[in-house]
Amino acid sequence: MNWKCTCAYDGNGLNGWQSQPGGNTVQDFIEARLEQIFKTPLRIHGSGRTDAGVHAKAQTFNFKADWEHGADKLERAFRSGLPAGIQVYQVEPAADDFHARFSATGKRYAYRFYEGWARPWDARYCWELGRRRLDESAMNTAAAQLLGQHDFTAFGANRGDGSEDNPIKDMRTLEVHREGPTLTLVTEASGYLYKMVRSLAGTLVEVGLGKLTPAEVRTILESRERTNRVATAPSKGLWLERVYY
């Protein structure tokens, strides 16, 4: 049986999604719980990797295992044995050929900025800008330069493990919304390169501060080369909000 699961997690204190020798990742904790449930090691396949410190409202993963008690009981089995910052909240049977990563048609992320110093319970989930103020109109003008299908190599990063992603992505939504001192960057695309959303967020902040112009952002995109002109925003402000299938 192929199981499609949706989980949420608070990335603070975690080493990201993907399993690694040191553990303390979302995948490691979920696989450990599955081994407790099924009495055998099981490998899960996530829709993609999130960096250390990045949060998720709806990360998707799948795995294959025989389970005779229905999806509801499997979901309930997940409610114990996981750290408080990780929750599997939806479990459903899927077609045999469903794969959380390869079946995905797009993803939605949000990145939160805060002008000033946020309250302690909010500061864990946003990039505090202190006395700096952002021009969201300029940020949106720059963001519009990046819509459509492009080679986003200039906004990607090397994983350092020899893997390579297709740099051609379809950017469907990229816009900044303000609510008082809180600004939220919302993006939807066919997919993302390693650290691409954080790089977009960091670069748009440079625009909002007047350090880059919208035209320069377009030039960076067309260069297809990663340089120090592209800033990387802190991981704690980033949320994976949805995976599309």
Set out the domains of the chain in order of their start, with CATH numbers. Answer: 2-94 (3.30.70.580), 106-244 (3.30.70.660)
d(CA 48, CA 27): 11
Residue given tokens 């992603």 in the structure block: 165
Q: Is 51 a catalytic residue?
A: yes
Spatial CB neighbours of 229, under 8 Å, sequence gap ≥ 6: 203, 212, 216, 220
pLDDT computed for residue 118 by the predictor:
97
Whether 224 and 196 have beta carbons less than 8 Å apart is answered as no
Is the four-CA dihedral 208, 211, 214, 218 of positive or negative sign?
negative
Residue given tokens 């719980």 in the structure block: 33
Nearest partner of 176 among 106, 127, 245, judged by Cα: 127
Which position among 51, 66, 151, 165 bears the catalytic label? 51
pLDDT computed for residue 16 by the predictor:
97
> At how many degrees (to 10) do helices 136-144 and 214-223 cross?
30
Bin 227: left if φ > 0, else alpha if -120 < ψ < 50, else beta. Answer: beta
Give the residues of the chain that fall short of pLDDT 50.
none
pTM of the model: 0.95
pLDDT computed for residue 34 by the predictor:
98
